[in-house]
Structure 1
Amino acid sequence: MCGAGAVHLSAHDRAAAHPRPDRCPGQPHRRVLSPLPGARRAPLRPRTNVRRCGQRRRAAGRRDGLTQPLSVGSTVAPGAIADPVPAAAGGKIGPGTACGIPATLSTAEKWSPKDLAKWALVEDGVTLRCEIDAKPAGVLGFIWVFTYESGDAAQALTTVAAMSGFGGEKSAERQITIGGKDGAEAALARDEAGPGRAFAANGVVVLWGSVDEEEFASGLPAYVLARTSITF
């Protein structure tokens, strides 16, 4: 039996007194993305350049080159169509590479492409072709690349935005020239995940998706690199 002077702690008080070592006190676990709905992925490797509890990630100075100073007047606010400075290029995908899409675009340093054509995921004429994993660069999220054969860019973008596990509700949209072709771009409010951004042009759709707003901002320069470097 407990003594007369014993102090009884609630479950909440015990958790606060002895926080889990894998998260900051008071912060929930993060949801981890899978490349396909229901797919299983290997456990996450230790992240690099992760902020400590109580510290904020700086906007510049990361060695992986992903987070760069913003251009004058630009922001990375979720839902806004505004661009940070593109990330430094570290590789490329396109014909003859790990992701043989009918276009060539640059990938950010340490981001890892993987062919997903074997999944044969097709919806309304839009086919998933590959993913570019941000995890080796210390960011949680994926750039997914789709192709389409018919219809205009805006329609293909709408199809991807409606795909379960990938897209989300459009919070902003614009018509834009991409690789010298007429294209469309949208900011997405993704279900149960962080914000997203996607563009479509000339048979290719590229979508950046992340686990939360911070990871979205960290990976957005890599997405902008893909959009500004693509050639057809």
Structure 2
Amino acid sequence: MRHPIRTLAPCAATLATGLLLAGCGAAVEPLPEVAQGARPTAAPATKAPAAAASRVTVGGPGTACALPVSFGVAEKWTPKAVEDPENPEFAALTQQGPATVRCEVDAKPAGHVGFLRVWTAGKGPARTALEGFVKAGRNTSGVVYQESGSGAGPATEVTYTVRDELMGGTKEERAFAVSTPKGTVIVHLGGLDTAEHRAMLPAYELARTSLKAL
């Protein structure tokens, strides 16, 4: 089922806490309680984390989100399509630079507070779209790009930190972008904080390594 957006532009700050699809007609409710998964506190190892196990894919026919790609979804993560993302009323929430958000994969059922978000942009170099996406973000610093790969071929990845105006301090975020015959796809991983972000990296790696162009 497609998940409707009922938020307005003043709620843009809630993106940092994974509330893109929450309503804003009244006071913002507290985050739902979740059974917390592992939250590493030490700096991650230099080698990439192992990909998570997957029983579900998203992006193909009959899946929750219509996308130019498909990829494996980590166990218990829940994908939902973003409805009417090109509506100008919701632009502050659904558009970032050249990209428009199409799908959210929610980590809360797996015990984490965060999302994998899938964005699409027009045809062109993946790095150009990714650079535009990051530059359009707020309070970013420490931006590092690198060329890597995905299940669909070459990819450009970026890691950076974001100053969190709601929680204070900074937190890590990252994304990768690939070019497909239907345009560029950006897969972004945020998280409530850096510990949550690092704990969700296996789901991000699963998406990157299992990605297929449709």
One fold, TM greater than 0.5? Answer: yes
Equivalent in the alignment of 2:140: 168
Equivalent in the alignment of 2:190: 209
Bigger radius of gyration: 1
Distance change (3 Å), C-alpha of 1:58 and 1:141: closer
What is the identity, as a one-letter code, of the residue corresponding to 1:46?
E
TM-score (norm 1): 0.67
Paired residue secondary structure (1:199): strand
Deviation at 1:151, TM superposition (A): 2.0
What is the identity, as a one-letter code, of the residue corresponding to 2:19?
S
Higher helix share: 2
Distance change (3 Å), C-alpha of 1:221 and 1:127: same
TM-score (norm 2): 0.72
Provide the identity percentage: 32
- Contact 2:97-2:136 within 8 A present in 1 as well: no
Equivalent in the alignment of 1:223: 204
Distance change (3 Å), C-alpha of 1:152 and 1:139: same
Deviation at 1:172, TM superposition (A): 2.0
Distance change (3 Å), C-alpha of 1:212 and 1:116: same
Q: Does residue 33 of the first structure (1) align with residue 14 of the second (2)? A: no
1:1-232 correspondence runs (5 A) = 32-35=17-20, 40=24, 43-49=30-36, 57=38, 76=44, 82-96=47-61, 97-120=63-86, 121-164=94-137, 168-192=140-164, 194-202=171-179, 203-232=184-213
Deviation at 1:159, TM superposition (A): 1.9
Deviation at 1:226, TM superposition (A): 0.4
Higher strand share: 2
- Contact 2:39-2:195 within 8 A present in 1 as well: no
- Cα displacement string for residues 48-74 of structure 1 (whole angstroms, at most 9, x for unaligned residues): 146xxxxxx576xxxxxxxxxxxxxxx
Gaps of 5+ in 2: 1-15, 87-93, 165-169
CA distance in 2, matches of 1:177, 1:160: 19
- Cα displacement string for residues 16-65 of structure 1 (whole angstroms, at most 9, x for unaligned residues): xxxxxxxxxxxxxxx733227x9647643321146xxxxxx576xxxxxx
Paired residue secondary structure (2:49): coil
What is the identity, as a one-letter code, of the residue corresponding to 2:206?
L
Equivalent in the alignment of 2:7: none
Distance change (3 Å), C-alpha of 1:153 and 1:39: farther
What is the identity, as a one-letter code, of the residue corresponding to 2:55?
G
Distance change (3 Å), C-alpha of 1:129 and 1:103: same
Gaps of 5+ in 1: 1-30, 51-56, 60-74
RMSD over aligned Cα, in angstroms? 2.6
